[in-house]
Structure 1
Amino acid sequence: MNGATGKIVRLGVLIALTATAVTGCVSPFKTAKVDPTSPIAEQASAAARYKGRRPTFADIPAIPTDVRGPARIKAVVEAEQRAAAKLRRDAAPETFKLTDTEGYAARARAAAKAPDFGAPTEADRANTEAFAAAARGRASAPSSQPK
């Protein structure tokens, strides 16, 4: 029993030292000092001194009623999982085969029209000159007045 007294005394001393150390710490709730050379020193001091309204329990908003419940969330997730499984089944490698690729290529080649890379004719040159002359006629010289 006497051995326990020493433990209790040591525990008491430890608690007293801890309490002293904690009360000696800087309180985080005190207003910090503001650097007077700061360009916003005055506004920072005013903001630190401002005592606003403290919230009350009445400020807690009501529980929303338009939030999905667990059953609805589960149903939506299951529907998404079913859609994903269907997509995987529909797009599986064994669901389609490429056939008649040569026939498709032949039909595409027949439908495509090859561009004419022939030399321009006199009619082509005349059309180009007519277009250029019309464009020059519509064009106006820039203003010589400085802006």
Structure 2
Amino acid sequence: MNDQTGKIVRLGVHIRSAILMGAVVGVAGCASPFTPPPADPASPVAAAANAAAKASTHATRPTFAEIPAIPTDIRTPVQFKKAVGAEKLAAEELKRQTAPNTWTLSDTEGYASKARRVAKVPAPAAPTDADRAATEAFAKAARDRATAPPSKSQ
């Protein structure tokens, strides 16, 4: 009995392999990457599309010789490791310097008085007669342009 079960399993493996190979061959035969399908002849751009497709199939393909050389101005892995280590050390130093209770505010009044001296806010000037006349002219022009809204009783 065991012999017959083994034969059935081996036969199933062969059948699956044959089905898989048939599917691969069928798909490969249906769609070739080297010849694009023709455009619909009823399309107004069919001629241009077919010409572009034909030109692309005869285009030159890049070669392995055209691969650019490896850049020489980049860091080596050792240099990256050193840079990462330096950044980690700088981060730890910054954490130590800004930890709670490691700094205090002092001479805040001196800082504020210096800031006030630098700012020098100009004193507000009283409006002159010319300023008032310009304001009135602007307001009159705005009132002249304004129109009343339509009444709701209509």
Q: TM-score range by the shorter chain?
A: 0.5 to 0.7
Give the superposed CA RMSD. Answer: 3.7
Partner amino acid, structure 2, of 1:5: K
- Structure 2: segments with no counterpart, 5+ residues: 135-154
Shift of 1:41: 3.8
Task: Select the residue among 56, 72, 79 that pairs with 2:79.
Answer: 72
2:53 is the alignment partner of 1:48: yes
The one of the two structures with greater contact order (alpha-carbon pairs below 8 A, sep at least 6) is 2
What 5-or-longer segments of structure 1 have no aligned partner?
Answer: 133-147
Distance in 2, matches of 1:38 and 1:68, equals: 55
TM-score normalized with structure 2 length: 0.55
List aligned pairs for 1:15-94, cutoff 5 A: 15-25=17-27, 26-27=30-31, 29=33, 30-36=35-41, 40-49=45-54, 50-94=57-101
> Aligned letter for 2:78?
A
Distance 1:53 1:8 in 2: 48
Q: What is the aligned length?
A: 124
Q: Distance in 2 between matches of 1:54 and 1:69?
A: 33
TM-score by length of 1: 0.57
Deviation at 1:45, TM superposition (A): 2.4
**What are the within-5 Å matches in structure 2 for residues 105-124 of structure 1?**
107=113, 111=117
Tell me the distance in 2 between the aligned counterparts of 1:66 and 1:114. 53
3-state SS of 1:94 partner: coil
Specify the SS of the correspondent of 1:73.
helix
Quote the sequence identity (%): 41
